Amino acid sequence: MTNNGSMETTGPVTTAHGTLHGKAALVTGGSRGIGAATALRLAREGADVAVTYVRDAEAAEDVVRAVRALGRRAQALRADAADPAEAAGAVERAALALGGLDVLVNNAGIGVLGPLEQFAPADVDRVLAVNVRGVFLASQAAAARMTEGGRIITVGTCMTQRVPGPGGALYAMSKAALTGLTKALARELGPRGITANLVHPGPIDTDMNPANGPHAAGQASMTALGRFGTAEEVAATVAHLATAAYVTGAEFAVDGGHAA
């Protein structure tokens, strides 16, 4: 994936025959950044993939074309995670399009940063609707569809482990809720052979937060490795969790040592 969000391939295109061969996955917010990289990584591992988007249909179709170039089925679905019906409905639509659902990646989210006193109730409602309620409803719908071997993987943030400065109260609160949800899902779904895990990215080079942006140097300096991560590095951890059978209720930092 290029820094402007368009998809690119390297080397010859081959049909995927990986560890997820025959599986069906939904990546919410999968039109760009971490979501797009995750969709492609799961496809390379053999999965058929659906992605959701809100505004950028063209970017979502770019992802679909790239997945299909790998020999897998793909579908782009417009769905706003802030809408309860659409958050759950996307799961049903993905399962219908792909013939089932084995992996849910809760990636869709929004970040609203600013001084505590400037947040209006509408800001709080919107962030919690997308980052918490949308994840809950998608997970609930997926659990109803999944059989043994199902995987629910949610993307959080390094700011649940360490908030390095002011302005992150609303965002950090919303993402911290995902820790409790993930652990509860692991307990509730474990007897059915379904796992639930949480990935916490640090500063990641995307079009929304580029590694050459005006605040990038400060973010990079807060990591032990002194650099931004790539969307592909996060996607690699998600792909591992999509196949790991004895890992559940766990949190994984892909943050370059931001929390060290």
Residues of the chain falling short of pLDDT 70: 1-18
Residue 69: inside a domain: yes
pLDDT of residue 10: 39
Q: Give the pLDDT of residue 9.
A: 42
The distance in angstroms from the start CA to the end CA of the chain is 29
Q: Is residue 3 part of a domain?
A: no
Q: Into how many domains does the chain fold?
A: 1
Q: For the domain that residue 88 is a member of, what is the CATH number?
A: 3.40.50.720
Contacts of 218 (CB under 8 A, 6+ apart): none
7 falls within a domain: no
Closest CA to 172 of 248, 123, 111: 111
Say what the pLDDT of residue 14 is: 39
pTM of the entire structure?
A: 0.92
11, part of any domain: no
Can you give the pLDDT at residue 240? 98
The whole-number pLDDT of residue 215 equals: 87
In a domain, 187, yes or no: yes
Does 259 reside within a domain? no
Query: What integer pLDDT is reported at residue 2 of this predicted model?
Result: 39
Report pLDDT for 112.
87
Q: Is residue 224 part of a domain?
A: yes
Instruction: State which residues form the domain around 66.
Output: 24-254
Instruction: Write down the pLDDT at residue 4.
Output: 39
> Does residue 32 belong to any structural domain of this protein?
yes
Q: Which amino acid is at 98?
A: L
Active site residues: 171
